[in-house]
């Protein structure tokens, strides 16, 4: 059995300290194997973004450990993230945005541009290289965000509700594109979402978190073969899996609410 | 992957055309009011409603300007005033920008200096002129120092507030690529704050004109401020009005210049630097 690409042990994150500290996440144990696409779903405020931030080094574990195998290998960019909002820099052109991660890691200008350009084409952004994000639609902006993260060839791609602010139709388009990308690249992905449907269509595994502080309630394999399309949604097993996970999630939303009511009362 | 052309809100070229035309039209509309006032003034003096001994008509002011240029002192005074404004603007602008970045980025620095600077900020700068005269003597130094100080405060406050208000997402995005602090400054903090910095610079240049003229007025000797004051004292009302008109043009031109440069370097930004501004001399 090979080493997992992401190895999380007893992870806890607490914001602030002492009695006023907020328990945001954990304790949590999770392994993600190389090339695996894992979705993390959970009620709002359960610590999903916190987990994503820890994975890209934007937050520190308060206890426990997060080990990326790529770090041990001395990889240049062990992980990269795609955010929901404020994803891309409005003062940089599409090409400059995509090349950003390469530029700041010291890749020389010509090579960074060449690699960014190939991502421009791959993401269907040809012709918009020199446009500023304000001239792009939300969907195209998010493609730039995905390209910027993938251009550095991260060992683990972290996505924090990347399609959360797009309309349903556009979200479907981007989900299909992401399925294609994962099929080609076989990269390890940790995909944060609150949509069970998104999680089931995209992933090899779906992890359900409890209400805050998020702990693992369920960890289900998604059996549908790859390459996949959005049509897996019509599979009868899709419906029952979704139903099953939905009941779990729903119980947590109620837990969260009654906890909030107690806190307020 | 599909190419969703229809999704784009329009090419940059189309956006530039759409954004450019109304701006030009707005600029033209802006000339209607001053032009009407000039014509009204001319007309009312011609029929004798306005006393032209105290309010010489625009035509007389125009002729006066030509005479003053020929006599040789108007251009010299204008140039001196511009030099003082420019020197103060550059010195104060650079120091204000650097201080703004530092206090914006470092919370501790902000906590140390903010109360003091905020207290000085509310003092009308022109009230400090006597102090500066005592410190710097009667040469160019006190005037330029006063303008620099004024400009410094505007640029400092606008820059600091802009740094503090950068959405956290931009910094996080940069940090997720393990940037150094220097890279974060160059790639995020400095560009993100440019629109606000230019709004600050625009206010600053307007106030710099005001402070320069006032200090020339008070200190005397040379410059457009002195010219206006001195002409009035000698009952050369016409010459005083020439000075006032030149100052108005100067203020307008300098603001326009700053705005044009700002629009150019923040082309990515949807709108032009804000027009409504707070002024506190
Ligand atoms: N910087 C922070 N300081 C204090 N509390 C925070 C901070 N960030 C998040 N939290 C709290 O931690 C909990 C988890 O937040 P988050 O990870 O953003 O949840 P999710 O992404 O699942 O909605 C929430 O209750 C949130 O209010
Ligand atoms: Mg979140």
Q: Give the per-residue pLDDT at B82.
A: 96
Alpha carbon of A25 to ligand 1 centroid (Å): 9
Nearest to B7 among A83, A104, A137 (CB): A137
Task: Give B12 or B233, the one with higher predicted confidence.
Answer: B233
* CATH number for A262: 3.40.50.300
Assess if residue A90 is contained within a domain: no
B264 has a chain A CB within 8 A of its CB: no
DSSP state of B6: G
Residue B272: CA count within 13 A, CB half-sphere:
16
Q: Give the per-residue pLDDT at A117.
A: 96
Tell me the C-alpha distance between B127 and B109, whole Å: 27
A119 has a chain B CB within 8 A of its CB: no
Q: Give the per-residue pLDDT at B65.
A: 84
Alpha carbon of B237 to ligand 1 centroid (Å): 69
Question: pLDDT band for position B5 (50/70/90)?
Answer: very low
Domain ranges of chain B: 3-22+72-265
Contact B169 A85 (CB under 8 A): yes
| Confidence check: pLDDT of B139 > 70 | yes
Assess if residue A83 is contained within a domain: no
Q: Give the per-residue pLDDT at B38.
A: 87
Q: Where are the alpha helices (DSSP H) in chain B?
A: 12-29, 32-46, 58-71, 73-105, 107-121, 129-136, 141-164, 168-175, 181-184, 190-219, 224-233, 237-265
Dump the DSSP string for B46-60: HTTSS-TTTS--HHH
Contact B8 A104 (CB under 8 A): no
pLDDT average, residue stretch A205-210:
94
Tell me the C-alpha distance between A158 and A260, whole Å: 29
* Residue with tokens 């003034």, as numbered in its chain: B41
Chain B: give the shortest CA distance to residue A121, in Å. 9
* pLDDT averaged over every residue in chain B: 84
* Residues of chain B contacting residue A101, judged by C-beta atoms under 8 Å apart: 177
pLDDT average, residue stretch B136-140:
83
Q: Is B112 helix (H, G, I), strand (E, B) or coil?
A: helix
* Residues of chain B contacting residue A91, judged by C-beta atoms under 8 Å apart: 191-192, 194, 266, 268-269
Q: Give the per-residue pLDDT at B19.
A: 44
Q: What is the pLDDT of residues B65-114, one digit of tens each?
A: 888 888 878 899 999 999 999 999 999 999 999 999 999 999 888 899 88
Minimum CA distance residue for ligand 1 atom 16: A47
Q: What is the pLDDT of residues B157-215, one digit of tens each?
A: 999 999 999 999 999 999 999 999 999 999 999 999 999 999 999 999 999 999 999 99
Cβ-based neighbours of B148, under 8 Å, separated by 6 or more:
B87, B88, B91, B92, B95
A90 has a chain B CB within 8 A of its CB: yes
Pick left, alpha or beta for residue A186 (phi over 0 → left; psi -120 to 50 → alpha; otherwise beta): left
Cis peptide before B212 (omega within 30 of 0): no
Q: Give the per-residue pLDDT at B22.
A: 60
| Confidence check: pLDDT of A213 > 70 | yes
pLDDT average, residue stretch A224-241:
92
Cβ-based neighbours of A214, under 8 Å, separated by 6 or more:
A24, A25, A26, A28, A42, A46, A47, A48, A50, A51
* Residues of chain A contacting residue B170, judged by C-beta atoms under 8 Å apart: 86, 89
Assess if residue A127 is contained within a domain: no
Q: Give the per-residue pLDDT at B23.
A: 60
Alpha carbon of A120 to ligand 1 centroid (Å): 34
Q: What is the pLDDT of residues B81-93, one digit of tens each?
A: 999 999 999 999 9
| Confidence check: pLDDT of A41 > 90 | yes
Contact A80 B173 (CB under 8 A): no
Of A4-8, A228-232, B237-241, B268-272, the poorest mean pLDDT is in B268-272
Q: What is the pLDDT of residues A152-187, one digit of tens each?
A: 999 999 999 999 888 889 999 999 999 999 999 999
Contact A83 B179 (CB under 8 A): no
The count of structural domains within chain A is: 1
pLDDT average, residue stretch A241-264:
75
Assess if residue A30 is contained within a domain: yes
Contact A105 B191 (CB under 8 A): no
Q: Give the per-residue pLDDT at A262.
A: 58
Nearest to A124 among B2, B10, B192 (CB): B2
Assess if residue A184 is contained within a domain: no
Q: What is the pLDDT of residues A102-129, one digit of tens each?
A: 999 999 999 999 999 999 999 999 999 9
pLDDT average, residue stretch B33-58:
85
pLDDT average, residue stretch A190-214:
93
- Tell me, which fold does domain B3-22+72-265 have in CATH? MetI-like fold (1.10.3720)
What percentage of chain B carries pLDDT values higher than 70? 86
Dump the DSSP string for A52-89: HHHHTTSS--SEEEEEEHHHHHT-S-SEEEE-SSS-S-
Tell me the C-alpha distance between B139 and B136, whole Å: 7
| Confidence check: pLDDT of B1 > 60 | no
Assess if residue A94 is contained within a domain: no
Tell which residue, A220, A212, A194, A224, has the closest CA to residue A256.
A212
Q: Give the per-residue pLDDT at B272.
A: 43
Atom of ligand 1 nearest to the CA of A194: 22
| Confidence check: pLDDT of A86 > 70 | no
Nearest-by-CA chain B residue for A169? B7
Question: pLDDT band for position B46 (50/70/90)?
Answer: confident
| Confidence check: pLDDT of A261 > 60 | no
Dump the DSSP string for chain A: -PPPSEEEEEEEEEES-GGG-EEEEEEEEEEE-TT-EEEEE--TTSSHHHHHHHHTTSS--SEEEEEEHHHHHT-S-SEEEE-SSS-S-TTS-HHHHHHHHHHHTT--HHHHHHHHHHHHHHTT-TT-TT--GGGS-HHHHHHHHHHHHHHT--SEEEEESTTTTS-HHHHHHHHHHHHHHHHHH--EEEEEES-HHHHHHH-SEEEEEPSSSB-EEEEEE----SS--GGGGGSHHHHHHHHHHHHHHHHHHHHHHHHHHHHH-
Question: pLDDT band for position B238 (50/70/90)?
Answer: confident
| Confidence check: pLDDT of B17 > 60 | no
Tell me the C-alpha distance between B69 and A118, whole Å: 62
What percentage of chain B carries pLDDT values higher than 90? 45
DSSP state of B274: P
Tell me the C-alpha distance between B178 and A71, whole Å: 13
To the nearest 10°, report the CA torsion of B257, B262, B263, B265.
Answer: 130
């Amino acid at each position: 059995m090979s080493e997992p690409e992401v190895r999380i042990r007893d992870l806890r994150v607490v914001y602030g300290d002492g009695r006023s500290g907020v328990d945001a996440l954990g304790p949590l144990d999770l392994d993600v194997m190389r090339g695996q696409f894992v979705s993390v779903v959970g009620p709002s405020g359960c610590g999903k973004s916190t987990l994503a931030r820890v994975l890209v080094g934007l937050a520190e574990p308060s206890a426990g450990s997060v080990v990326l195998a790529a770090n041990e290998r001395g990889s240049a960019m062990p992980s990269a993230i795609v955010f929901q909002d404020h994803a891309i820099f409005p003062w940089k052109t599409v090409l400059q945005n995509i090349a950003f991660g390469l530029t700041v890691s010291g890749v020389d200008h010509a090579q960074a541009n060449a690699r960014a350009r190939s991502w421009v084409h791959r993401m269907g952004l040809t012709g918009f290289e020199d446009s500023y994000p304000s001239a792009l639609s939300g969907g195209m902006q998010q493609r730039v965000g995905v390209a910027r993260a993938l251009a550095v060839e991260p060992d683990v791609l972290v996505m924090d509700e990347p399609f959360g602010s797009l309309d349903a139709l556009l979200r479907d388009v981007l989900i299909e594109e992401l399925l294609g990308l994962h099929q080609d690249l076989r990269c390890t992905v940790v995909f944060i979402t609150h949509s069970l449907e998104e999680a089931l269509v995209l992933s090899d595994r779906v992890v359900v978190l409890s209400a805050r502080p998020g702990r693992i309630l369920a960890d289900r394999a998604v059996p549908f073969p790859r390459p996949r399309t959005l049509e897996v949604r019509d599979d009868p097993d899709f419906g029952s899996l979704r139903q099953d996970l939905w009941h779990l999630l729903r119980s947590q939303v109620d837990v969260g609410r009654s906890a909030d009511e107690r806190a307020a009362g | 992957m599909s190419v969703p052309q229809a999704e784009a809100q329009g090419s940059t070229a189309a956006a530039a055309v759409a954004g450019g035309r109304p701006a030009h039209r707005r600029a033209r509309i802006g000339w209607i009011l001053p032009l009407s006032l000039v014509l009204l003034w001319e007309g009312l003096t011609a029929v004798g409603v306005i006393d032209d001994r105290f309010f010489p008509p625009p035509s007389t002011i125009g002729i006066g300007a030509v005479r003053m240029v020929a006599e040789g002192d108007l251009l010299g005074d204008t140039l001196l005033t511009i030099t003082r404004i420019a020197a103060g603007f550059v010195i104060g602008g650079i120091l204000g920008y650097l201080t703004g970045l530092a206090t914006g980025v470092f919370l501790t620095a902000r906590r140390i200096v903010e109360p003091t600077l905020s207290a000085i900020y509310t003092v009308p700068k022109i009230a400090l002129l006597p102090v500066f005269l005592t410190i710097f003597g009667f040469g160019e130094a006190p005037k330029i120092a006063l303008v620099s100080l004024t400009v410094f405060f505007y640029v400092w406050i606008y820059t600091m507030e802009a740094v503090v208000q950068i959405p956290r997402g931009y910094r996080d995005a940069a940090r997720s690529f393990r940037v150094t602090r220097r890279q974060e400054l160059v790639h995020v903090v400095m560009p993100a704050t440019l629109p606000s910095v230019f709004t600050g610079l625009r206010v600053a240049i307007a106030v710099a004109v005001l402070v320069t003229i006032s200090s020339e007025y008070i200190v005397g000797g040379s410059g457009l401020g002195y010219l206006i004051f001195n002409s009035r004292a000698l009952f050369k009302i016409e010459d005083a009005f020439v000075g006032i008109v030149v100052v108005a043009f100067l203020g307008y031109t300098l603001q326009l210049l700053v705005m044009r440069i700002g629009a150019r370097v923040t082309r990515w930004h949807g709108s032009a630097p804000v027009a409504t501004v707070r002024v506190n001399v």
